[in-house]
C-alpha cells in the first residue's frame, strides 16, 4: 500500500515537473507579479482550461512583463521594472562588438573566465558557482529543488515573489511572514515559522519592493543558525547599491561552508537586464544539486558573458551609475515631500511609497501620462513602487504625479 502511495506521489510530482511547468509559466507571470501576492481570482489554478490561451504575450497588465507589453512606444519614463537606464557601460558595449565575430562558438571558455573572476573577487572557488541567463533561472531551479508535496517555503511579505511562487507549483504551503514596522524582513518571525516541512527560507536583501536592508551581523548570525536546520537562499540582486556590498553580502557565509545559496545578477547596477547574466554561489555539492534543475552555462550568450567580464572590472562606470542613481533618488524624495507623501527610505534603485488612491487606477492614470510604475497592496494600504530612472524620467514622473496628487 505504502509503495503504491509513494509511486502515486512520485507520479504527481513527475507530472508537475514534466507536464505542469509549460502551463505553469503563464500562471507564474501572473502570480509573481500579483500586487497582493496571490493569483487573481479569475486565474486561480482550477485546471488547464484556465491556463491555456494565456500565451506569454498575454501577461497580466499589472506585471512588469504585462506593463512592458502594453506600454505605448512613446513612454516618457520606464519606471516599473527596476532596470538601470545608465547601463550597460561603454566597455560592455565594446566587448559585445568584439565578441560578435566568434559568437558562432559556444560560450564555455568565456564563462570559465567570468567564474574565475567572480571566485577571485569573492574569495571562493570556481566550484562554488553556477551561471545562468539571469538569476531568475536560478531562483526557479532552487524553488523546484527544495519543494515537495506537503512541503513549505518561507518568505517575507511583501518580498520578491518569483522563487516562492514557483515553489508553490510543487509545495503545499507558502508561509508569508509580514515585514516589521520598519518594513524590514522579520528574521526572528521567519525563524520561528520554520517547521519539519520547510524546504527553503528565502531572504531578499535589499528587499524588493520595500528597498530596505537588513543589519549584516544579524543576518549573518541568522544564516549561521538557520542553515543548520534548512537551506537559506539570499537574493542579493540589489546589493551593489549599498555603500559596502562586500561587507553586507552573505558570500562570507558561503565561504564559511554554510548551507546558504547567494544569488546575484548583472541586471541591476551593471544594466544587463536585456543581456541576461546571473549566478549563484553555494557549496559545490549544492551547485551539483541545483544543476539538475537548470540549463546552466548553455543558456548564456557569449557576447553577454564578454560584456560581463568587461563591466565587472569597470569601477569608474559603477561609481557613475551610483552617483546618477543617488541624484535621481534625491529628486524623487523631494518631489514626494513637496506633494505631502511619505516614503520608505530606499537602499536600492527603487522607492516604495503609500498612495492616496486605488493602485490600479493610479498606475493606469500615470501610464496615460506616459509614466510606467507599479502598485502594491499590503498593511491595508495602496503603494506605488517607482524605479529610479534618468533625471528626465524622474521629471516626467514628477509632472504626472503632480497632476494626480
Ligand atoms: C529581487 C530580485 N531577484 C531577482 C531578479 C531577477 O533578475 P534577473 O533574472 O534579471 O537576473 C529580480 C528582478 O527584478 C529581483 O528584483
Cα-Cα-Cα-Cα dihedral sign, residues 173, 179, 184, 186 = negative
With beta carbons less than 8 A apart as the criterion, state whether 208 and 82 touch: yes
Q: What's the CA-to-centroid distance between 137 and ligand 1, angstroms?
A: 10
Give the whole-angstrom CA distance, residue 286 versus residue 262. 11
Q: Which residues of the chain fall below pLDDT 70?
A: 1-56, 58-61
Give the whole-angstrom CA distance, residue 3 versus residue 9. 10
Q: What's the CA-to-centroid distance between 93 and ligand 1, angstroms?
A: 22
Question: What are the tens digits of pLDDT across the range 277-314?
Answer: 999 999 999 999 999 999 888 999 999 999 999 999 89
Can you give the pLDDT at residue 175? 97
Can you give the pLDDT at residue 74? 82
Q: What's the CA-to-centroid distance between 1 and ligand 1, angstroms?
A: 44
Extents of the domains making up the chain:
2-58, 71-87+316-404, 90-312
Range 71-87+316-404 has CATH code 1.10.1040.20: no
Can you give the pLDDT at residue 16? 44
Give the whole-angstrom CA distance, residue 401 versus residue 19. 45
Substitution site in 63, 131, 136 for ligand 1 pocket (most atoms within 8 Å of beta carbon): 136
pTM score, two decimals?
Answer: 0.88
Quick one: CATH architecture of 90-312?
A: 3-Layer(aba) Sandwich (3.40)
Question: What are the tens digits of pLDDT across the range 189-214?
Answer: 999 999 999 999 999 999 999 999 99
Give the whole-angstrom CA distance, residue 283 versus residue 255. 8
Can you give the pLDDT at residue 58? 64
Those residues with Cβ within 8 angstroms of residue 375's Cβ, 6 or more apart along the chain or in another chain = 35, 62, 355, 359, 360, 362, 363, 382, 383, 384, 385
Give the whole-angstrom CA distance, residue 90 versus residue 271. 11
Same fold, 71-87+316-404 and 90-312: no
Cell numbers that stand for 118 in this block: 567572480
Residue nearest to atom 6 of ligand 1 (CA): 136
Can you give the pLDDT at residue 384? 97
Substitution site in 68, 208, 213, 237 for ligand 1 pocket (most atoms within 8 Å of beta carbon): 237
Residues β-bridged to residue 233: 202, 261
Amino acid at each position: 500500500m505504502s509503495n503504491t502511495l509513494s509511486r502515486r506521489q512520485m507520479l504527481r510530482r513527475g507530472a508537475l515537473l514534466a507536464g505542469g511547468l509549460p502551463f505553469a509559466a503563464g500562471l507564474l507571470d501572473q502570480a509573481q507579479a500579483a500586487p497582493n501576492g496571490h493569483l487573481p481570482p479569475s486565474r486561480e489554478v482550477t485546471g488547464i482550461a484556465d491556463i491555456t490561451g494565456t500565451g506569454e504575450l498575454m501577461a497580466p497588465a499589472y506585471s512588469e512583463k504585462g506593463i512592458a507589453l502594453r506600454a505605448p512606444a512613446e513612454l516618457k519614463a520606464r519606471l516599473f521594472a527596476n532596470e538601470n537606464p545608465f547601463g550597460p557601460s561603454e566597455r560592455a558595449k565594446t566587448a559585445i562588438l568584439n565578441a560578435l565575430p566568434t559568437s558562432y562558438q559556444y560560450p564555455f571558455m568565456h564563462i570559465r573566465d567570468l567564474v574565475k573572476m567572480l571566485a577571485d573577487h569573492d574569495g571562493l572557488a570556481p566550484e562554488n558557482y553556477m551561471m545562468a541567463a539571469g538569476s531568475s533561472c536560478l531562483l526557479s531551479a532552487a524553488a523546484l529543488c527544495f519543494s515537495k508535496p506537503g512541503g513549505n517555503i518561507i518568505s517575507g511579505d511583501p518580498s520578491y515573489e518569483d522563487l516562492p511562487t514557483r515553489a508553490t507549483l510543487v509545495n503545499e504551503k507558502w508561509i508569508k511572514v509580514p515585514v516589521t514596522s520598519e518594513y524590514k524582513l522579520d528574521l526572528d518571525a521567519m525563524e520561528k515559522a520554520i517547521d519539519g516541512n520547510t524546504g527553503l527560507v528565502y531572504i531578499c536583501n535589499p528587499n524588493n519592493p520595500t528597498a530596505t536592508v537588513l543589519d549584516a551581523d544579524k543576518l549573518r548570525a541568522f544564516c549561521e543558525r538557520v542553515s543548520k536546520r534548512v537551506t537559506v537562499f539570499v537574493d542579493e540582486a540589489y546589493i551593489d547599491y549599498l555603500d559596502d556590498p562586500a561587507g553586507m553580502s552573505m558570500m562570507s557565509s558561503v565561504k564559511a561552508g554554510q548551507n546558504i545559496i547567494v544569488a546575484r545578477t548583472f541586471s541591476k547596477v551593471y544594466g544587463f537586464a536585456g543581456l541576461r547574466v546571473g549566478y549563484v554561489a553555494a557549496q559545490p555539492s549544492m551547485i551539483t544539486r541545483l544543476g539538475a534543475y537548470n540549463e546552466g552555462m548553455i543558456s548564456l550568450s557569449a557576447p553577454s558573458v564578454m560584456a560581463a567580464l568587461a563591466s565587472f572590472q569597470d569601477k569608474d562606470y559603477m561609481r557613475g551609475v551610483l552617483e546618477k542613481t543617488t541624484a535621481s533618488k534625491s529628486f524623487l524624495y523631494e518631489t514626494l515631500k513637496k506633494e505631502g507623501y511619505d516614503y520608505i527610505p530606499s537602499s536600492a534603485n527603487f522607492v516604495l511609497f503609500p498612495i492616496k488612491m486605488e493602485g490600479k487606477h493610479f498606475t493606469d492614470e500615470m501610464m496615460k501620462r506616459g509614466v510606467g510604475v507599479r502598485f502594491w497592496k499590503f498593511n491595508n494600504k495602496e503603494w506605488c513602487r517607482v524605479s529610479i530612472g534618468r533625471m528626465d524620467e524622474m521629471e516626467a514622473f514628477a509632472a504626472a504625479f503632480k497632476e494626480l496628487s
